Amino acid sequence: MTTSEPLSPVSRTALSVARVRAYESSRPDPLFVDPYAAAFVAAAGLDLAPTGADSSFAKALLAHGILRTRFYDDRLRAAGADQVVLLAAGLDTRAYRLDWPDGTRVFELDLGPVLAFKEQVLAGLGAAPNAERTTLPADLLDPRWPERLVAAGFDPARRSAWLAEGLLVYLTAEEAAALLTAVAGLAAPGSRLLLEQGRDLSRTPDDPALAHLTGLWRGGLGPGTGEWLDGHGWTTEVTTLVRLGEAYGRPFQNPSATTAFIEAERRAAPGGAARP
């Protein structure tokens, strides 16, 4: 590990995602190429095997990580916003590996140690972002992060695109609701939000090889995430993992593949402002 401050268990989950992206990037027909993912894994002293587990649940999690990466790549660019906020960015390298229109600003928020680790690895590779990139070490459970984001140059009066990839499952329902309420306060009408439809944790298979991930899951807003957003000023569209697999040429049948992804658009209130 090159960083001086150790990563917390929840921040280490970013390394699991990097491992999935390194695996996909090494395939002959990848859905995306993340040229930095393997370097993160190596710098942390881990091997490249994507999960270390071989259950049907592990395979569904791997497919989930791969398909959501490509889906969010496509939908973030399609959002057409020149302000992009990556909540819990972890080792997400979209600021570097996607083509962004000139003038796009990408804000990355996560806990300090994981951002410091990421900077060290990317600097060592001489990586240069394709957007104006701002990193903001922040605990997203601390209600001061919105004002810090605005102080860093984010303009809440203009449309924005938000990504909360692999985050809400690590929060309680109350924490997830507070975070999404804060996002709504910064998202001008027409803004987009991408995230996972939460899981029903009571149906999570028990795979000891995945306990480093599943043992940290708190469930967020669970399978009611889309409904919650619809009731709080967003219009949502839900795409299942199975549907995404078909759309991207990776069809699979798996009884544990019940997860789905949400794209939400911030509605304008009749008076012109976004609804609460």
Tokens describing residue 269: 């209130």
Query: In the window 161-180, what residues touch ligand SAM (CB under 6 A)?
Result: 165-167, 170
Residue appearing with tokens 């991408």: 194
Per-residue interface string for the shown chain with ligand SAM, residues 136-165, x marking contact by CB under 6 A: ---xxx-----------------------x
Minimum distance of ligand SAM from residue 196's CB (angstroms): 10
Tokens describing residue 89: 């960015």
Separation CA 113–CA 108 (nearest Å): 13
| Closer Cβ to ligand SAM, 111 or 274, answer by number | 111
| Closer Cβ to ligand SAM, 164 or 187, answer by number | 164
Minimum distance of ligand SAM from residue 189's CB (angstroms): 25
Asked if 220 touches ligand SAM (CB under 6 A), the answer is no
C-alpha distances (whole Å) from 153 to each of 36, 67, 106, 117, 118 are: 27, 31, 10, 24, 22
Minimum distance of ligand SAM from residue 256's CB (angstroms): 18
Q: Which of 50, 90, 220, 233 binds ligand SAM (CB under 6 A)?
A: 90
Separation CA 116–CA 108 (nearest Å): 12
| Closer Cβ to ligand SAM, 23 or 233, answer by number | 23
Q: Which of 24, 34, 82, 92 binds ligand SAM (CB under 6 A)?
A: 92
- Contact in structure between 199 and 168 (CB atoms under 8 Å): no
Asked if 14 touches ligand SAM (CB under 6 A), the answer is yes
The Cα angle at residue 224 between residues 223 and 228, in degrees rounded to 5: 150
| Closer Cβ to ligand SAM, 90 or 129, answer by number | 90
Q: What is the dihedral of CA 206, 170, 236, 151, to 10 degrees?
A: -160
Per-residue interface string for the shown chain with ligand SAM, residues 97-136, x marking contact by CB under 6 A: -------------xx--x----------------------
Q: Which of 31, 79, 91, 274 binds ligand SAM (CB under 6 A)?
A: 91
Minimum distance of ligand SAM from residue 272's CB (angstroms): 32
Minimum distance of ligand SAM from residue 269's CB (angstroms): 29
Residues that bind ligand SAM (CB under 6 A): 10-11, 13-14, 17, 88-92, 110-111, 114, 139-141, 165-167, 170
